[in-house]
Amino acid sequence: MMTAARTISFKLNGMPVTADVKPHHNVVEVLQSQFSLTGARETCGQGLCGCCTVVVNGRAVSGCLYLATFLDGTEVTTVEGLDTPQKLHSVQEAFIETSAFQCGYCTPGFVLMTTQLLDEHPDPDDEQIKHYLTGNLCRCATYPQVIEAVKLAAKKRKGS
């Protein structure tokens, strides 16, 4: 029985880490408060907007609805884990080149979901893109540009 804070271990963007979490802490607040990673952010708080997207064991989840304690023993990727000091991820490049964002608050979620989408559908059509990304909302409504970005990212991925 776990009553209070507990130390969990997991891999964060490839690095083994530990964190002290209480059962009521969610993933977003732990990433922000203990690792200063602010790319996953809580907006709607209901798993509907996608701003809090993180990838746990290869699957995207809503960090605002995911208890941090459940990260114990997992591999976690956040948007900060995609690029290297030398090079952006091809999805990130595609978002910049197509200007597929405005305020940028929802962008990390879109970028992470796009990497997942392309793993599953390397050459997606419009319907597949819309369907896969339907759980990500953008109040600046850059949806048409995101579709362009995803297609450009698919092209870049094939090229590399």
Partner 1 sequence: MTMTHDAPKAGSQVGRSVPRLEGRDKVTGRAEYTHTMRLPGMLTCKLFRSTVAHGRIKSIDTSEAKKVPGVFAVVTIDDVMKVIPDPYYGPAFHDQPILAHEKVRFVGEPVAAVLAMDPHVAEEAAQLIVAEYEELPAVYDEVDALTTKTYVHDVLKPAGTFADLKHLKDARDTNTALDYRLRKGDVDKAFAQAAHVFEHEFKTQKVLHLPFEPHASIADYKDTGVTVYTASQGPSFVRTEIARLLGWPENKVRIKVPYLGSGYGAKLYIKLEALVVALSMIARRPVKLALTFEELFYQITKHPSTFRIKSGIDKDGKIIARKCEVFWNGGAYADIGPRVTQKSGLTASGPYEIDNVWIDSYALYTNVTPAGALRGFGVPQLVWAYESHSDMIARALKLDPVEFRRKNLLREGRPHATNTIIKDAAVEKVMDHVLDRMNWSKPFDKSTGVVKRGRGFGISIKAVITPTTSVAIVNVSGDGSVTLYCGTIDMGQGSDTAMAQMVGEVLNVPTETVRVVPRDTDVTPYDMGTLGSRSLFHMGHAVQRAAADARDKLKALAREVGEPEGSNIPVRDLFVKKYGMQAGNVIGTGIFKPDYIPPAPGTGLSENVTAFWMVSGAGAEVEVDTETGHVKITKLVNVVDVGKAINPRIVETQISGAALMQLGFTMFEKMHIDGGQVTNASLADYKIPGFHDVPTVMDNSHVDTNQANGPFGAKGVGEVATFCVSPAIANAIDDAVGVRLTELPLNPESVYRAIRAKAGKPLEDE
Partner 2 sequence: MTPFELAEPTKLADAVKLLDPDDPTVRPIAGGTALMLMMKAGVFRPAKLISLRGIESKYSGIAASGGGLRVGAMTTLNALERSADVKKLAPLITRTMLTLSNVRVRNVATVGGALAHGDPHMDLPPVLMALGAKLTVISPNGERSVALEDFFTGYYETVLEKNELIAEAHIPAQGAKRAAYMKVTTGSADDWPALGVAVVLDSDGKAIKSARVVVSAATTKATRVKSAEAVLAGKTVDDKLLAQAGDAAVEEAEFIADVRGSVPYKRELLRVYIKRAVRQALDGGAQ
* Binding-site ranges for partner 1 (CB under 8 A): 24, 29, 32-33, 37-41, 43-46, 48-49, 51, 78-80, 82-83, 88, 92, 95-97, 99, 101-108, 111, 129-130, 133-134, 137-145
104 phi/psi in degrees, rounded to 5: 85, 0
Contact 136, 53 (CB under 8 A): yes
Q: Which does 44 bind (CB under 5 to 8 A by kind): partner 1, partner 2, none?
A: partner 1
Angle between helices 126-133 and 107-120 (to 10 degrees): 130
Contact 13, 4 (CB under 8 A): no
Could you give the CA distance from residue 24 to residue 32 in angstroms, rounded to a whole number? 15
Q: List the x/- string, 29-48, binding to partner 2 by CB under 8 A.
A: ----------------xxxx
Taking CB under 8 A as the criterion, the residue among 12, 61, 71, 79 binding partner 2 is 61
Nearest 5°: CA angle at 57, between 25 and 152?
Answer: 110
Which parts of this chain interact with partner 2 (CB under 8 A)? 1-4, 22-24, 26, 45-48, 50, 53, 59-62, 64-67, 69-70, 113, 116, 131-132, 134-136
